[in-house]
Amino acid sequence: MNIVQEESRRDQKKLQRRALLIEIARRSISTKGLKSLKVRDVAEAAGCSIGSVYNEFGDFDGLILTVNRETVHALTTRLKAVPADDPLRQLHGLADAYLGFATEHANLLRSLFEHRMEDDRPFPEDILTMVMDAFALMQTPLLRLLPDRDPGDVALLSRMMFSAVHGIISLGLEERMVAVPPEMLRERLAQFVDTHLAGLGVSRRT
Amino acid sequence: MNIVQEESRRDQKKLQRRALLIEIARRSISTKGLKSLKVRDVAEAAGCSIGSVYNEFGDFDGLILTVNRETVHALTTRLKAVPADDPLRQLHGLADAYLGFATEHANLLRSLFEHRMEDDRPFPEDILTMVMDAFALMQTPLLRLLPDRDPGDVALLSRMMFSAVHGIISLGLEERMVAVPPEMLRERLAQFVDTHLAGLGVSRRT
DNA sequence: ATTCTTCTTGAACAATGTTCATTTTCATAC
DNA sequence: GTATGAAAATGAACATTGTTCAAGAAGAAT
């Protein structure tokens, strides 16, 4: 009951505040949009100084990127929770899960896709990888549905399909330029997936 | 050679500088991205004071929105220039024109879709309308290809299809999260359109 | 030439990201 | 328990950038 615990106690407190800061930032982004996120607001809400935010995340981008990282992670978790028993149902499930996530966390998803780095610093590799991995999740069910096609082809197809779904959803949810009436989005999205699959030679689900 | 001409000369000068300011802002956004656009830079580059920019556009958003407005306009012009003789070819032409515009003016298009208003001011109605009109341009050829479907249905279908194309392109061109290798994007996009049309029951083009 | 309107200017202000010298905290050693 | 040194926290000060506005300049009308 000495070194290790003392250290862990300190670390635990540090981690706890780090989590608090992230949670506050996420809540702010989620409710008021990325543009309204201010260092001072976060620091004040967390009951600490501005400098502490910088100690923890390096700079403001660091905080935003941390939130975005967790957003991709949450999204991925949700997408991976879609049952993989039936490939056709899985594809619909993936599209629907994305829609659900985008509906519930519109501003967080926007923060992920719209945030630009300060100056010309490179976009973090790990986030990039996570997003690409998420967008590749349609590959597995598509491969099962299209066993005769070239796997490399299917890999591209799946990312295209997911990108298309992303486009439909992100524009559809954009309250300012409502491309599709919200209440219809869900069923239209399913219809879109069906149509596209039909175009790929897959018969519709029963 | 008096009142009218004097007035018009003054107005002309004013319009000329307005155009200059817009051009400078557009060039800046186009080359360095929206985030790097600064009032002072624009004013200095145009050889006028900061205040003049405000006189002309009200605030910073005003300048950005003006550039964005012209971006939608240029996009629409380009899309409307696509030959409308053959509906199938037109659909491909629209997708390809959008890709071409997005490739040549990636940052301008991002500015249009990613810019958020200061505070919670509403998004300008006219830009919204122009974007929606642009996204409805697939409706006419689709109606010709699907004469038996409910027109309201086709209206939605066309906006979905355009949104899908938008998603594929905007993610595909995102150098940070390259979902699709750029050199393939063009042909893949055509393939996507074909596939989706096939799903809608339209036979591929010859 | 005078007056009146309009436009222009840029200093000053406000909001906000960032730095860093100072202070505080705290684990460790004795 | 106290001393010590490292690590963290602090917030005043700074830098950048959008915004305002009183004062001045320019131009049109008479």
Q: What domains can be seen in chain B, in order of their start residue? A: 1-58 (1.10.10.60), 67-199 (1.10.357.10)
Digit-coded pLDDT (tens) for A140-150:
999 999 999 99
Whole-number Å distance between alpha carbons of A193 and A82: 16
Q: Return d(Cα A109, Cα A113) in angstroms, integer.
A: 6
Residue A132 near chain B (CB below 8 Å):
yes
- Between the CA of B56 and the C1' of C2, what is the distance in angstroms? 30
Query: What per-residue confidence (pLDDT) applies to B6?
Result: 47
pLDDT of residue B204: 63
Q: What is the pLDDT of residue B4?
A: 45
- Chain B residues touching residue A34 (CB < 8 angstroms): 116
Q: Which two tokens stand for residue B12?
A: 């002309």
Mean pLDDT of chain A: 91
Q: Nearest CA to A124 among A57, A77, A41, A74?
A: A57
Q: How confident is the model at residue A120 (pLDDT cuts 50, 70, 90)?
A: confident
* Alpha carbons B194 and B92: distance in angstroms, whole number: 8
Decide if B53 contacts B21 (C-beta within 8 A): yes
**B200 neighbors A204 (Cβ within 8 angstroms):** no
What pLDDT, on a 0 to 100 scale, did the predictor assign at position A17? 94
The reported pLDDT for the residue numbered A178 is 64
- Where are the alpha helices (H) located in chain A, listed in sequence order? 3-32, 39-46, 50-57, 60-80, 87-104, 106-114, 125-135, 139-145, 151-173, 182-199
Q: Looking at the predicted structure, is the pLDDT value of residue A7 above 70?
A: no
- The burial of A98, by beta-carbon neighbours within 10 Å (0-12 exposed, 13-18 middle, 19 or more buried), is given as buried
Instruction: Name the residues contacting strand C (CB < 7 Å).
Output: A 2-3, 6-7, 9-10, 13, 37-40, 50-51, 54, 59-61, 118; B 14, 17, 48-52, 54-56
The predicted structure's pLDDT at residue A13: 81
pLDDT of A14 reads 84
Q: Who's near B95: CB < 8 A, 6+ residues apart?
A: B165, B189, B190, B192, B193
Average pLDDT over residues A94-105: 96
pTM of the full predicted structure?
Answer: 0.92
For residue A13, which nucleotide's C1' is closest to its Cα?
D8
Q: What is the largest CA-CA distance in chain B?
A: 66
Confidence of residue A27 (pLDDT cuts 50, 70, 90): very high
Tell me the C-alpha distance between B38 and B25, whole Å.
9
Percent of chain A with pLDDT over 70: 90
Closest nucleotide to A53: CA versus each C1': D9
Q: What is the pLDDT of residue A33?
A: 96
Strand C positions with any atom < 7 Å from protein CB?
7-12, 16-21, 26-28
Higher pLDDT, A118 or A41: A41
Looking at the predicted structure, is the pLDDT value of residue A152 above 80? yes
User: In this predicted structure, what is the pLDDT of residue A174?
Assistant: 85
A200 SS3 class: coil
How far from each other are the two terminal CA atoms of chain B, in whole angstroms?
63
Nearest-by-CA chain A residue for B119: A36
pLDDT tens digits for range A165-197: 999 999 998 877 665 677 789 999 999 999 999
Q: Which residues of chain B have pLDDT under 70?
A: 1-10, 177-179, 204-206
What would the pLDDT profile of B62-107 be if each residue is shown by its tens digit? 999 999 999 999 999 999 999 999 999 999 999 999 999 999 999 9
CB contacts of B114 in chain A (<8 Å) are: 114
